[in-house]
Structure 1
Amino acid sequence: MSKIKKIDQSVCGYMQSQVKINTLSDAIRELTQNGVDAGATNIKINVKVQYAETTVEIDYTDDGEGIGPESMEVLGKRFFTSKLISNSEGPDCDLSMLQRLTTFGFRGEAFNSLLNICSSVLVVSRVKHYNSGFKACFQGDERIGNIVKNNGPVPIGTSIKLIGFFDPVIVRKNILLNNIENRWTQDTFEIKRMVLDSLINKPWIKVRITRQEFKQLKWVSKVLVDKASTFTAEKVSFQSQMSLFKSIFGEKTCEDYELCKVQLKNIQLKAGIGLSSLQTKSYQFIYLNGRPFISEEMVKYVNRLFQKKYELWGHNAKNSRVKSPSKKSSSMYGRPYSVNPVFVASFSAPINISELMQDPSKACYTTKNMKILLFLFTKVIEVYFGIYKKKRKGTTEKEQAKSTVKSKRQKVQEYAVLSSDSTVSKFKKSELNGRLTDTNPATIEEFPRKMHDFNKITNKLALKEHFRTMDQPGHGKREEGLVDENNIGSHCSNCYKVQKQDSLKRQSFFFNNIDKVVLTREDLREFHVIGQVDKKFILLRLQNRIVGFDQHAIDERINVERMYMQLIEQCMSGGESSELEDKIAFETNGVECELIARYEETLAFWGIRFDRDYTHITHLPSLILSKFMKIGFSVLRKGVVEFLYNLGESKKVAFKPTETGKPRGAGNPFWWVRYVSHMPDIYRETIKSKACRSSLMFGEQLSNTQVTDIVRQLQLCYQPFECAHGRPSLYPICGIDAGGHRVEQSN
């Protein structure tokens, strides 16, 4: 049996560094944040790539305070940092400084990690008190030789050259080179996000990031980020952060926005919310004390609040300011594509040491103040939609003149919570000074009490997170709930369980305990037709129960599943794509164009084909084409873009045409189910719309023979007890005994 031995120090360095720096954007993040911590106002980064020699170099320069020769003696050693200062006179750093920490770094690991994943590193730096700079060379985490004076003039600041980036980790280097060559546009987004994360509290810093590639015996350069320096005084809160966001991601991402501010005692939220929607959630950023706050719970909650206002905001918030959106803009029952808000939100709260220790990338994932943060975000969204409604109604010429500012500054909307009782009111900033921590009831009562009890609100927030009724509006597109055919036996999609009594608007007069009623697909095999009721409902006897069915809903379910299966069969055989006489113009950005190239085969599987330049759609399925010939192709573009982002984020499986054209698991009658949830959402909504309009309507007379035929078709459905839109299609009326007499459910 092998003995336990200490791992070699060099191996430890590689393993430790890979935990913190896994990608090019991670390395650029560490360099940029070190410059920000050093007080730099100008940061330049250049990435040089040579594919023939398989090498990547990173050149970094800033004009910060620099590194003195004394600090260079310990530069690169693990757990050495200049960010933590002890209150005692001892030489060691302690955690007492964390409560007042204003820098990104403090662990003393970032530069050590960079040294371990490069073949060599050169550092040249000069501080204000020296007339010359000093140079140090590293190989791994060991310095080569002594620290020497640099020949020639050196400006104040630091320059770092990383040579052979990822050379010690060959697999990561190969992945990096492949991404730079084939997926660079999408990876650039991560670099841009890193720049926003680094500058969110110091948006005036100038950052320029470029890439150089050696191709065809010459260097080709491209600018990735060119954020200019802005030293103008901020007269409107959070406007400079939104200007930073637009300069990094482009004007089209968020052409116009509203600024809102909310405060509860010593916790404050500032947010900029765009007036237009996108088909991706990638442009939603949340920060806590200047650090990225990555909370899936908060993101879901905030998006749910926006979806509740879909009819007001969802079609296109920007255009709605001038003209309210038409409810028939898509001519579809559901939503053919998702709408997601664009926002940047920054929380300021007392620093908690546990929030600083959650991730080496300086991100925060949870906080003890989560309920308060959710409450403040709720108030910000209320303020946003309050502004939005007013602008939709239109303003007078006088009000428009007042709202127009020559410098195009946004007006921040402040919404303050003044006490622990959560008394909320609107005030000017000058009125808020000195009152946010005032606990004197007499002072608080001077203002209008238009409020809520905080404990009740926070309890409701937690309750809403776990409880949602099926008919609650505004939760986005409802997934079909279809699963792989391998799991059909254990899935409850082929059965119907009635909601609990306290959630039903109307209850059966004959069932004492209706929430115990369970029906399965097998129950439909033995049925007796009682008849049609009011030309709307079908009454059936299923063993010892009488059940009413919505005739439109069950026919809709039959039609939608038939259309799903037909479309998937045609896509798998390659016969569903029709060439267009007039090509459809398809405007894309760099990321979307790269996604089209990467998932070209998957798009072709679903019948969508582009020209060589990816600027026009040349082929579409006939089912989709006929629909959008009527309503226009702008909705189609948004649906295809959403599908591309879902593929890129692995939310949908990238199916490809098979050589045989035979479906997987064709012996199973529900083989097609696994494909439904992975088809473009716009296909599903189109099929649902067609199924709805081609189904039986209320008022149509049916004979018992026609009813029998419909029920037999319903037996073959995967989800026989839901309409195409997910609503129940039946309701138990009463229980009966063998003699046909009504009995209580308890019997």
Structure 2
Amino acid sequence: MSEKIRILDDITINKIAAGEVVERPASIVKELVENSIDAGASRITIEIESGGKSLIKIIDNGHGIPSSEVSKCFLRHATSKIDAVEDLFKLNTLGFRGEALASISAVSKLEMTTKYKDESIGTNIYLNGGKVVSKEAVGTNTGTIILIKDIFFNTPARKKFLKSDHSETITVSDTVNKLAIGYPNIKFKYINNGKIMLDTPGDGIQNNAIRCVYGREISSNLINIDYKCNLFSVDGFIGNNNIFRSNRNLQHIYINGRFVKSKIILDAISEAYKSIIPINKHAICFINIYVDPAKLDVNIHPAKLEVKFEKEREIYIELREYLKAKLLKNNLIAKYETYNDKIDLRENKSSISHNSSFIGEKTKSEKEHAKNKSFNENKREFKELEPINLSANVSSFTKFEDINSFSSVNSDNKNSYISEDSCEYSKSKQLEIESVKIKNNDLYKNDEENRETAFSLDNYKVCGTVFDTYIILQRDDSMYLMDQHAAHERILFEKYMNSFRKKSIPIQILLDPIILELSNVDMSLVEKNISVFSYFGFDVEIFGLNHILIRGVPNLFGIPQSEKFIIEIIDNINDISGSYDLKYDRFATMACKSAIKANYRIKNIEISALFKQLESCENPYTCPHGRPIMVELTKSEIEKMFKRII
């Protein structure tokens, strides 16, 4: 290496710049399809071969490029979308940097055929490694066709980092899926090695696009959202408690039409779903957020996947609270569904194959319901177990009836139960829900104000208990199982949380105060934030150089737990959200330990009290850790088990 400073030639500059924009075939597809969207296309076809490494072809019916401008497209920082830096803050297009075509052509063999809407003849141009080889007038339809072959053919060091054809295909497919869902008004067709993988209707209905991409299971478990405030407006769909994933791949966030990965938005979603879905799981959502471009910075990275908001904290809080409220307005009782081979197999193919023909299709059970005939039932006599005779004076539960109980059916296998103390949960197909106190309900007056189905147990009939753990209920054509531990855990948790919010946590004064020795760093934090401890229910004072004296602790905790909690507060004292997580998790654990356990035979009067308190809960559907309180099993599902419905 010479110490002499050189000015690089344009070809070298373009190849270096291409590394920022052209990472792999999927990034090429993204840039070119976004150009098609900016051109006003209503139909876009994407075709790839060998994962996009050997061929990428994009066809659109947009307004095309004027013949006089075609050569300029491949110059660095040449764009029709902005004139000056001020335009960055009033963008209404996906592209603006003028780098994509220059970078792509620098590392591939590129051919483009285009015709502008106001011209009678089109233009064909061919480039090899960024150099124009030919340019001529041709007859073609309005729009643009771009054909790219052999990416990184002239940069072998980059080419060797490409993954297998299969891996690159998956990444391209994911990119196309996100674009198709973000723009349901555009008809997308995606072809891989000659096979149609996706064909959306382009009817402007986002849920139809979602179904084409991810299938019926996802699209049928979505909640529509639509909300406006001074900071932003939002619409789209969020998943209910019946669907979730182990990663964030199905969290689609679009800001002003641009798919992005925003930590602020993702954190707001995670907080909104806290305990609504199981721990370490992620919600499914397709959210379109619209923000004043002047209050948004998209010029952070060439890939344009990151954005910055002017008022990040305010947007985070507003979105989090709206999503929480919206989720709680829906009936989130978990549902049990039997496996349907034909439906599942067809729908599971939807993420990689043409699936639009299934839109609006009735389920098999709906079509055949009228044909089902019952078979003669053999009468069996069961041993009569302990009956549940609910008190007549419990006016809130007038529909309860005396009926034989199954409460004595016990299991010898204690290990089959989830440990309440450890809060470990089975990997059940059923999903769960929770939510936290909404601080300002007036925020949502423009939305549906009340829960779509207010939670009430008035019309439920108690049929008994089973395994001394689950209460059996019936309403209409459904049977329900209620987990007595999860229900009581939810009740206790909300009681603790309400005391915390009201700053009325009862304090237990210690006869023998606790003295804790801290480091000088921790001591400085405590001195600066001494009032924080009273917020959590502690009576703490400074005691000497590096010691604190704990005179009172929350009566919810024992002394050993209080000492641990104090240390955790100090560790998180500079992070308000961390402190929130801290007390949430602590109260959830305390509720779990204090609630009635599995294998405890609950009395009739206790069932009545449990129901009455559960009805008043903000979230009566799950325990704080995300396990369902109730699971619904419909009559039709039971009939499927007995082959009454085939």
TM-score for both structures, normalised by structure 2: 0.51
Q: Which among 222, 225, 228 is matched to residue 198 of structure 2?
A: 225
Output the amino acid matched with 2:46.
Answer: I
Deviations 1:201-254 (A, max 9, x none): x42111112122xxxxxxxx33333222215xxxxxxxx233323322333334
| Matched residue, 2:99 | 109
Output the amino acid matched with 2:273.
Answer: F
Q: Which among 117, 126, 132 is matched to residue 137 of structure 1?
A: 126
Output the amino acid matched with 1:62.
Answer: D
Output the amino acid matched with 1:112.
Answer: A
Q: In the superposition, relative to structure 1, how do residues 473 and 70 fare at CA in structure 2: closer, same or farther (>3 Å)?
A: farther
Question: What CA distance in whole angstroms lies between the structure 2 residues aligned with 1:185 and 1:17?
Answer: 21
Question: What CA distance in whole angstroms lies between the structure 2 residues aligned with 1:55 and 1:270?
Answer: 36
Query: How far 1:159 sits from its partner (Å)?
Result: 1.0
The answer as to 2:198 corresponding to 1:265 is: no
Output the amino acid matched with 2:253.
Answer: I
| Matched residue, 2:184 | 203
| Matched residue, 1:631 | none
Question: What CA distance in whole angstroms lies between the structure 2 residues aligned with 1:81 and 1:188?
Answer: 25
Output the amino acid matched with 1:128.
Answer: K
Output the amino acid matched with 2:35.
Answer: N
Question: What CA distance in whole angstroms lies between the structure 2 residues aligned with 1:373 and 1:266?
Answer: 7
Q: What is the DSSP-based 3-state SS (H/G/I as helix, E as strand, rest coil) of the residue aligned with 1:39?
A: coil
After TM superposition, the structure 1 = structure 2 runs for residues 251-650 of structure 1, keeping only pairs within 5 Å, are 251-265=216-230, 267-275=232-240, 276-280=242-246, 281-310=248-277, 314=278, 338-352=280-294, 355-389=297-331, 423-427=442-446, 506=508, 508-511=510-513, 513-514=515-516, 516=518
Question: What CA distance in whole angstroms lies between the structure 1 residues aligned with 2:250 and 2:213?
Answer: 11
Q: In the superposition, relative to structure 1, how do residues 348 and 55 fare at CA in structure 2: closer, same or farther (>3 Å)?
A: closer
Q: In the superposition, relative to structure 1, how do residues 223 and 55 fare at CA in structure 2: closer, same or farther (>3 Å)?
A: same
After TM superposition, the structure 1 = structure 2 runs for residues 666-685 of structure 1, keeping only pairs within 5 Å, are none
Query: How far 1:508 sits from its partner (Å)?
Result: 3.9
Query: How far 1:279 sits from its partner (Å)?
Result: 3.0
Q: What is the DSSP-based 3-state SS (H/G/I as helix, E as strand, rest coil) of the residue aligned with 2:307?
A: coil
After TM superposition, the structure 1 = structure 2 runs for residues 668-707 of structure 1, keeping only pairs within 5 Å, are none
After TM superposition, the structure 1 = structure 2 runs for residues 26-175 of structure 1, keeping only pairs within 5 Å, are 26-49=27-50, 56-84=54-82, 93-118=83-108, 120-145=109-134, 147-150=135-138, 153-175=139-161
Output the amino acid matched with 1:195.
Answer: L
Question: What CA distance in whole angstroms lies between the structure 2 residues aligned with 1:255 and 1:226?
Answer: 19
Contact 1:81 1:106 in 2 (8 A): yes
Q: What is the DSSP-based 3-state SS (H/G/I as helix, E as strand, rest coil) of the residue aligned with 2:92?
A: coil
Question: What CA distance in whole angstroms lies between the structure 2 residues aligned with 1:359 and 1:194?
Answer: 19
Query: How far 1:30 sits from its partner (Å)?
Result: 0.7
Contact 2:89 2:297 in 1 (8 A): no
Q: What is the DSSP-based 3-state SS (H/G/I as helix, E as strand, rest coil) of the residue aligned with 1:340?
A: coil
Contact 2:38 2:95 in 1 (8 A): yes
Contact 2:322 2:444 in 1 (8 A): no
Q: In the superposition, relative to structure 1, how do residues 209 and 172 fare at CA in structure 2: closer, same or farther (>3 Å)?
A: farther
Deviations 1:413-472 (A, max 9, x none): xxxxxxxx995352479xxxxxxxxxxxxxxxxxxxxxxxxxxxxxxxxxxxxxxxxxx9
Question: What CA distance in whole angstroms lies between the structure 1 residues aligned with 2:143 and 2:30?
Answer: 18
Query: How far 1:297 sits from its partner (Å)?
Result: 4.2
Deviations 1:271-297 (A, max 9, x none): 411122223221112222222342234
Deviations 1:385-435 (A, max 9, x none): 332248889xxxxxxxxxxxx989xxxxxxxxxxxx995352479xxxxxx
Deviations 1:293-336 (A, max 9, x none): 422344234223312345xxx5xxxxxxxxxxxxxxxxxxxx6x
Q: What is the DSSP-based 3-state SS (H/G/I as helix, E as strand, rest coil) of the residue aligned with 2:285?
A: strand
Question: What CA distance in whole angstroms lies between the structure 2 residues aligned with 1:506 and 1:195?
Answer: 57
Q: Which among 224, 227, 242 is matched to residue 207 of structure 2?
A: 242
Output the amino acid matched with 2:179.
Answer: V
Q: What is the DSSP-based 3-state SS (H/G/I as helix, E as strand, rest coil) of the residue aligned with 2:328?
A: helix
Q: What is the DSSP-based 3-state SS (H/G/I as helix, E as strand, rest coil) of the residue aligned with 2:30?
A: helix
Query: How far 1:515 sits from its partner (Å)?
Result: 6.4
| Matched residue, 1:740 | none
Query: How far 1:24 sits from its partner (Å)?
Result: 1.1
Contact 2:269 2:320 in 1 (8 A): yes
Q: What is the DSSP-based 3-state SS (H/G/I as helix, E as strand, rest coil) of the residue aligned with 1:278?
A: coil
Q: In the superposition, relative to structure 1, how do residues 368 and 504 fare at CA in structure 2: closer, same or farther (>3 Å)?
A: farther
Q: What is the DSSP-based 3-state SS (H/G/I as helix, E as strand, rest coil) of the residue aligned with 1:511?
A: strand
Query: How far 1:78 sits from its partner (Å)?
Result: 0.8
Unaligned runs of 5+ in 2: 336-358, 362-439, 449-491, 495-503, 520-556, 562-592, 598-624, 626-646
Question: What CA distance in whole angstroms lies between the structure 1 residues aligned with 2:505 and 2:164?
Answer: 51
Supply the RMSD in Å over aligned alpha carbons: 4.1
Contact 1:267 1:349 in 2 (8 A): yes
Q: What is the DSSP-based 3-state SS (H/G/I as helix, E as strand, rest coil) of the residue aligned with 1:307?
A: coil
The answer as to 2:164 corresponding to 1:179 is: yes
Query: How far 1:76 sits from its partner (Å)?
Result: 0.4
How many residues were matched structurally? 375
Deviations 1:128-166 (A, max 9, x none): 233222111212222224x3212xx41111111112112
Q: What is the DSSP-based 3-state SS (H/G/I as helix, E as strand, rest coil) of the residue aligned with 1:104?
A: coil
Deviations 1:514-533 (A, max 9, x none): 4659xxxxxxxxxxxxxxxx
Q: In the superposition, relative to structure 1, how do residues 174 and 255 fare at CA in structure 2: closer, same or farther (>3 Å)?
A: farther
Contact 1:207 1:225 in 2 (8 A): yes
Output the amino acid matched with 1:367.
Answer: F
Q: In the superposition, relative to structure 1, how do residues 246 and 361 fare at CA in structure 2: closer, same or farther (>3 Å)?
A: farther
TM-score for both structures, normalised by structure 1: 0.45
Question: What CA distance in whole angstroms lies between the structure 2 residues aligned with 1:351 and 1:55?
Answer: 35
Contact 2:58 2:147 in 1 (8 A): yes
Q: In the superposition, relative to structure 1, how do residues 192 and 127 fare at CA in structure 2: closer, same or farther (>3 Å)?
A: closer
Query: How far 1:354 sits from its partner (Å)?
Result: 5.7
Query: How far 1:17 sits from its partner (Å)?
Result: 0.6
Question: What CA distance in whole angstroms lies between the structure 1 residues aligned with 2:19 and 2:505?
Answer: 51
Q: What is the DSSP-based 3-state SS (H/G/I as helix, E as strand, rest coil) of the residue aligned with 1:40?
A: coil
Q: Which among 190, 203, 209 is matched to residue 174 of structure 2?
A: 190
Output the amino acid matched with 2:159.
Answer: K
Q: What is the DSSP-based 3-state SS (H/G/I as helix, E as strand, rest coil) of the residue aligned with 1:345?
A: strand
Contact 2:33 2:44 in 1 (8 A): yes
Q: In the superposition, relative to structure 1, how do residues 425 and 194 fare at CA in structure 2: closer, same or farther (>3 Å)?
A: closer
After TM superposition, the structure 1 = structure 2 runs for residues 730-741 of structure 1, keeping only pairs within 5 Å, are none
Question: What CA distance in whole angstroms lies between the structure 2 residues aligned with 1:272 and 1:244?
Answer: 12
Contact 1:260 1:272 in 2 (8 A): yes
Query: How far 1:27 sits from its partner (Å)?
Result: 0.4
